[in-house]
Amino acid sequence: MRLALAEAARGLGRTSPNPPVGCVIVQRGEVVGCGFHPQAGQPHAEVFALRHAGARARGATAYVTLEPCSHAGRTPPCADALMAAGVARVVVAAPDPNPLVNGQGISRLRAAGLDVTVGVMEAEATRQQAGFRSVVGRGRPHVIYKYAMTLDGKVAAQDEANGPVSSAEARTRVMAWRNQVDAVAVGRGTVLLDDPQLTTRRLEGGRNARPVLFDPEGYIGSQARAVRVGTLLVTRQGVRSPLEGDDRVTILPSTSLQEALQGLARHGISTLLLEGGPTLASAFFDEGLIDELRVFVAPKLLGAGLAALSLPVRSMHAAAALENVQVEQVGPDVLITGWVARK
């Protein structure tokens, strides 16, 4: 299953609105086939793995990171493909929450006499499928807030003559993340101050996520570097933007962040990497719209400066907490990741 999850990861950022899924077929302790879902409209992971395995799939065990589908969507049902290939046993990491599947893939396999095990590495799989699960369950993307701060919690100096807080190694890691999400979001302040490109340059085989610019009052113009083909612009309902009529840009007028996120999901955004700044991120956090944090802590002190988040929390027992925390050193910086615990 670990191998199947690694296979699935190859599709991250490319499969929406579908989930990333991986499949590994094992015959007498030997891997005879593996595959992943590369893109919506393309065959599912199981199909690639079965093609790879050929006749060796007969009597084999298939490890799949998501319940094999039972419906004919853009592609025929994977449960039937596994049965037709003579697979004897199927190990599933997590059930498919899609109402068209939702247990029916598993029951179809069992009814045909296959041995089915469910729940192997389920936590890892559901985290990997967070974007898909968020859109199916809540109608909005999974939101990751990424920032880099000093040891005293500042993301920018007071004089606004801003060099980066984090190291080159940390910034390379961010490009790898951009390659694995559907969209990268920033607020108007960041666009006007830093004019970021939001690309995955310096990453071999990388592709750019779609930029999402939150610009409620319509300040951002066509010269901003993050404005390119595929850019999504969120404005306040009724506000005119200089980007109206720019055929590279889709404008989403919204009355709230929640509504904006729902609009993004309708445009095929299942995972959103929020890159700041603090005003936008604090508004997201306040409304419970941040699901995951990825924070670089740089070994520097700034004194005065801009805080990463300003939250209306006054006492320790009310502090927002993280779950599934992981810590890693990246160059000179410390990377802390975790999921925002829901109270």
Residues annotated as catalytic (active site), given as ranges:
46
Q: Which stretch binds Zn ion (CB under 5 A): 44-52, 94-102, 167-175, 217-225?
A: 44-52
- What does 35 bind: ligand AOF, Zn ion, none (CB cut-off 5 to 8 Å by kind)? none
Q: Is 308 annotated as a binding residue?
A: no
One residue of 1, 34, 62, 78 binding ligand AOF per CB under 6 A: 78
Q: Is 126 annotated as a binding residue?
A: no
Fill in the amino acid letter for 90. Answer: V
Task: Mark 33-62 with x for binding to ligand AOF (rule: CB under 6 A) and - for no binding.
Answer: ----x--x---xxx----------------
Strands 61-64 and 22-27: antiparallel
C-alpha to C-alpha distances, 243 to 6, 69, 81, 86, 285, nearest whole angstrom = 40, 41, 48, 56, 28
Least distance CB 78 / Zn ion (angstroms): 3
CB count in 10 Å sphere of residue 261: 27
For the chain, the helix, strand and coil percentages under 3-state DSSP, each to the nearest 5:
25, 25, 45
Instruction: Return d(Cα 276, Cα 191) in angstroms, integer.
Output: 10
* Positive or negative: CA dihedral 321, 326, 331, 334: positive
235, 251 contact by CB (below 8 A)? yes
Least distance CB 66 / Zn ion (angstroms): 8
φ/ψ region of 15 (left if φ > 0, alpha if ψ in -120 to 50, else beta) reads alpha
One residue of 1, 4, 12, 21 binding ligand AOF per CB under 6 A: 21
Q: Which stretch binds ligand AOF (CB under 6 A): 95-103, 202-210, 227-235, 239-247?
A: 95-103
109 touches ligand AOF (CB under 6 A)? no
Q: Which stretch binds Zn ion (CB under 5 A): 63-71, 135-143, 222-230, 250-258?
A: 63-71
Q: Which stretch binds Zn ion (CB under 5 A): 65-73, 257-265, 293-301, 323-331?
A: 65-73
One residue of 39, 54, 58, 74 binding ligand AOF per CB under 6 A: 74
Q: Could you write out the DSSP letters of every residue in 90-103?
A: EEESS----TTTTT
Fill in the amino acid letter for 54. Answer: G
Q: Is 279 annotated as a binding residue?
A: yes
Q: Is 195 annotated as a binding residue?
A: no
CA angle (173, 94, 335) in 5-degree steps: 20
- What does 21 bind: ligand AOF, Zn ion, none (CB cut-off 5 to 8 Å by kind)? ligand AOF
Q: Is 287 annotated as a binding residue?
A: no
Cβ distance to ligand AOF smaller for residue 68 or 189 = 68
One residue of 5, 12, 16, 18 binding ligand AOF per CB under 6 A: 18
User: In terms of Cα–Cα distance, which of 152, 35, 123 is closest to 85?
Assistant: 35
Token reading at 83: 């049965």
Q: Is 134 annotated as a binding residue?
A: no
Residues 6+ apart with CB under 8 A from 20: 8, 9, 10, 11, 12, 14, 36, 37, 65, 128, 129, 132
Q: Which residues bind Zn ion (CB under 5 A)?
A: 44, 69, 78
Annotated binding site for Zn(2+): 44, 69, 78
Q: Which residues bind ligand AOF (CB under 6 A)?
A: 18-19, 21, 37, 40, 44-46, 66, 68-69, 73-75, 78, 96, 98, 101
